[in-house]
Structure 1
Amino acid sequence: MDVGRSTEGRPIQLGLGYNAAQFTLLVVVNALVGGMLGQERTVLPLLGEQEFGLRAYTAGLSFILVFGLAKAATNYFAGTLSDRFGRKPVLVAGWVVAVPVPLLLIWAPSWSWVLAANVLLGVSQGLTWSTTVVMKIDLVGPARRGFAMGLNEAAGYGAVAVTALATGYLAEAYGLRPAPFLLGLAFAALGLGLSAVFVRETHGHARLEAATHVARADGRHDHLHDQLTNREVFLQTSFRERALSSASQGGLVNNLNDGLAWGLFPILFASAGLSVGRIGVLAALYPAVWGVGQLVTGALSDRWGRKWMIAGGMWLQAIALAMIANGDDFAVWAVAAVALGAGTALVYPTLLAAIGDVAHPAWRARAVGTYRLWRDGGFAVGALVAGVVADVLGVRAAVWTVAALTAASGLVVALRMYETHPGPR
């Protein structure tokens, strides 16, 4: 194990076992981050339609559009800020921004308040989720990166699922406001307290790994040295480097279909006569399988490699979306939601792990930020594509369109991406 010393004089050592306490705390913190997102999954599309009278799908999906744009931009800057100022200050700042979100949703007299809340939610998610990802990568070192990302994303999306389910039942029992959003207020207070008081800085772990970094034996990354400018990191991650750019487009399309699921699935299910409670079950089932599945898939990618898990996961998502577009009852949609969650579980932690495999520790946080810029930009693209197609051709046509895009994305990974982690080290 590699050992160093922090600026406070504490010994620094890479590895999950040595850093188990801080790693576990960060898992809890990211679950709270996911809960902030989950408070909207069931309720907000119905709120827009029933309380604010939004009939055009494009208008109804505007909250996802502004969320995606805010989160994508913040993701990019979160990596740069965490390299410059440290990880913990960025994490705490994200929680400060989160506190007003549930209050705005509870008190919103117009849809513009909801949009403002989702701008803040996007900024908060970009700062908090990006930073917990980077901090876990810092702590575990290279050997168990996929497992670490699986735990991180499982915690976040498991909490999305639980909160989506809980808010569905709360909305059915007590109305769409304010009860469902009181959960978000509790999550924000707890997340801010834990991050400010108990989370420790991990930037020293990244510096230690950079100092002991060993290049790949095949010379694949010889051109990716440790001294890259922000512009160079952006270009390599977005376009030039085959694995990094393949992961970036895969992440964008993955969240494009998640934006569709978030914004249009509750409306599709409601049009079939499902109750708010049953819509909440379906809204929770997909991220629940996604979340729990990542406990397995992240670790498997450390043993089997990344490429074909990503491609296969994208194709499974495409099949699930086709099932949803073609279905018309709860049972079919439940099976499809499970398949969609399983496909996403194969993809989500594996994409992050692939970025960590390729990016040099000196600029890894910036690479993660760039990847997450593209990935969460998928929310905005999904809101636009799904909204326009749904307005012109109907909701089911929008689902079919996104299914085709997801299948094509898997093909890009299959043809362009190389294996970034060929088996255990």
Structure 2
Amino acid sequence: MTTTPADRSARQHTLRLGLRANLAQFTLLVVVNALVGGMLGQERTVLPLLADDVFHLSAYTSALTYIVAFGATKAVTNFFAGTFSDRYGRKPVLVAGWLVALPVPAMLAWGPSWGWIVAANVLLGINQGLTWSTTVIMKIDLVGPERRGLAMGFNEAAGYVAVAVTAVATGAVADHFGLRPEPFLLGAAYALLALGLSTLAVRETRGHARLEAAGHSGSRNPSHHGELSTGQIARRVSLGDRALSTASWAGLVNNLNDALAWGIFPLLFAAHGLGVARIGVLAALYPAVWGAGQMLTGWWSDHIGRKHLITAGMLLQAVAIAAVAIGTTFTVWAAAQVVLGIGTALVYPTLLAAIGDVAHPIWRARAVGVYRLWRDGGFAVGALLAGGLADAYGLTTAIWAVAALTALSGLVVAVRMYETHPRSASPAHAGAG
């Protein structure tokens, strides 16, 4: 049956923007993104120890190859997830991401060589790039401009609380049963449940983006009407626009930090004699505070603006990472993980909200994809940088170097980024999207 313009117009009028109007689908997408985070959380405690205890990888750079594989693959997939979401719709991309995830837990649980673990992380990177990017885009579609920060807070909170809960759970399971295969059975359950929900219950949201675009404020600048190629969008997000490009740099450094926390911190804690269960608690504290805090910080950025929260968050992260380098006890490390989580909570949803502020609804999905390409490239950069420095100069030197780089990033945001929130932006940048 052919769909006429009148039919499309009538269907569009049945759509409404806003959190309350789309609460059921928004809540479902929060649940799905929690399962996305759980897939990542199954690795946070166990995999660094697996590299050392089971596969006997002596060089830190070699041990962190799984993070390089994950980060590089996820970064590239983010870019294509945004493009495919604009071209084919959000839901097909989401379902495809979960199909890719199905073999990952089995490969982690029974892979006979380290190459299998790296290959599993390539698939995990594709899964995370397709599914996390799509849930971000879909939530932005649903809520409209007024609650963008709150929406990102809920999305990222769900994902990273699930990372934390799963890190604790897998650490406890590994402490009782061993590093393989039992900790990864939880990931298998997550993948099956998420595929079912995404296929049967999630609805397409591309129509909501078109509805917002139809009412978007006019401008004499054609880019404000969505008339940009993918190459133009990539240049604008990477270099051209001061807010978009600074956000991309800050996002890269933020996930560089996460690579350090994921791959180096557990090895440092183990070198000081901590057991697997206590390492699991420390590995979970950071994403738990990060995750839960985003429900507040995303909402907060809707009221006071984006720039100052991002600046403060990057500087707090630098302080926390330095404290990990200085510390030698569980108590000091736990406090540092909490501060690191607070700093990341200030940054993470706020950066995504800033991208959504500036990008036009028609090319917003691709802008999010480019931003996430840079941001998640930080995993690969962080693993290579931290691993190389740890091999050459030791774990503590690697941690100090990342702390300094994070502080520098905060200063760059303070100097270069302009405020993007519509109610807080200066007249020169208001309506820049």
TM-score when scaled to structure 2? Answer: 0.95
Distance change (3 Å), C-alpha of 1:424 and 1:249: closer
Matches within 5 A, 1:162-181: 162-181=165-184
Q: Which segments of 5 or more consecutive residues in structure 1 lack a partner in the other structure?
A: none
Deviations for 1:246-274, whole angstroms, at most 9, x for unmatched residues? 10000000000100100011100000100
Q: In the alignment, is the contact (CA less than 8 A) between 2:323 and 2:332 conserved in 1?
A: yes
Letter in 2 for 1:167: T
Matching residue's letter, 2:410 = G
Q: Report the CA distance between 1:223 and its aligned residue.
A: 5.2
Aligned to 2:81: 78
Q: Describe how 1:92-111 pairs up with structure 2 within 5 A.
A: 92-111=95-114
Query: 2:131 corresponds to which residue?
Result: 128
> For the residues of structure 1 that align with 2:378 and 2:224, how far apart are their CA atoms?
27
Are residues 1:228 and 2:228 paired? yes
Q: Which residue of 2 aligns with 1:88?
A: 91
| Counterparts of 1:180 and 1:142, CA distance in 2 | 40
Match of 1:115 in 2: 118
User: Shift of residue 225 of structure 1?
Assistant: 3.8
Q: How far apart are the structure 2 equivalents of 1:249 and 1:91?
A: 26
Deviations 1:120-170 (A, max 9, x none): 000000000000000000000000000000000000000000000000000
Residue 274 of structure 1 is matched in structure 2 by 274
Paired residue for 2:428? none
Distance 2:372 2:325 in 1: 28
Residue 343 of structure 1: how far off its partner (Å):
0.1
1:288-325 Cα shifts (integer Å, max 9, x gaps): 00000001000000001000100100000000000000
| Identity across the alignment (%) | 68
Give me the whole-angstrom Cα distance separating, in 1, the residues matched to 2:222 and 2:150.
26
Aligned ranges 1:268-347 → 2 under 5 Å: 268-347=268-347
Task: Tell me, yes or no, if structure 1 residue 183 matches structure 2 residue 217.
Answer: no
Q: What's the counterpart of residue 264 of structure 2?
A: 264
Task: Provide closer, same or farther for how the CA distance between residues 12 and 275 of structure 1 changes in structure 2, counting only shifts above 3 A.
Answer: same
Q: Deviations over 1:90-119 (max 9, x none)?
A: 000000000100010111110000000000
| Equivalent-residue separation in structure 1 for 2:9 and 2:398 (angstroms) | 53
Letter in 2 for 1:239: L
What's the C-alpha RMSD, in Å, of the aligned pairs? 1.6
CA–CA separation in structure 2 for the residues paired with 1:309 and 1:353: 12
1:251 touches 1:378 (CA, 8 Å); kept in 2?
A: yes
Question: Aligned in 2, Cα 1:229/1:422: closer, same or farther, shift over 3 Å?
Answer: closer
CA distance in 2, matches of 1:408, 1:276: 33
> Are 2:241 and 1:241 equivalent residues in the alignment?
yes
Q: Which amino acid aligns with 1:235?
A: R
Q: Which among 215, 229, 251 is matched to residue 212 of structure 1?
A: 215
Residues 6 and 12, structure 1, Cα contact 8 Å, conserved in 2: no
In 1, Cα distance between equivalents of 2:272 and 2:387: 19
CA contact (8 A) 2:218 2:224 kept: no
Helix, strand or coil at the partner of 2:264: helix
Tell me the residue number matched to 1:19: 22
Q: Which residue of 1 aligns with 2:35?
A: 32
Q: Distance in 2 between matches of 1:68 and 1:153?
A: 18
Conserved in 2, the CA contact under 8 Å of 1:6 and 1:204?
no
Question: Does the C-alpha gap of structure 1 residues 137 and 6 become closer, same or farther in structure 2, counting only changes over 3 Å?
Answer: farther
Shift of 1:214: 1.2
- SS of structure 2 residue aligned to 1:195: helix
Whole-Å separation in 2 of the counterparts to 1:262 and 1:222: 43
Cα distance in 1, alignment partners of residues 398 and 210 from structure 2: 46
CA contact (8 A) 1:19 1:140 kept: yes
Aligned to 2:47: 44
Alpha-carbon offset, residue 9 of structure 1: 3.9
How far residue 423 of structure 1 moved from its aligned partner, in angstroms, is: 4.0
For 2:227 and 2:335, locate their aligned partners in 1 and report how far apart those are by CA, in whole Å: 48
CA–CA distance in structure 2, aligned partners of residues 150 and 423 of structure 1: 19
Q: Which amino acid aligns with 2:106?
A: L
| Structure 2 letter corresponding to 1:165 | V
Give the AA of the match of 1:308: H
Partner of 1:362: helix, strand, or coil?
Answer: coil
Change (3 A) 1:206 1:5: farther
Counterpart amino acid of residue 365 in structure 1: A
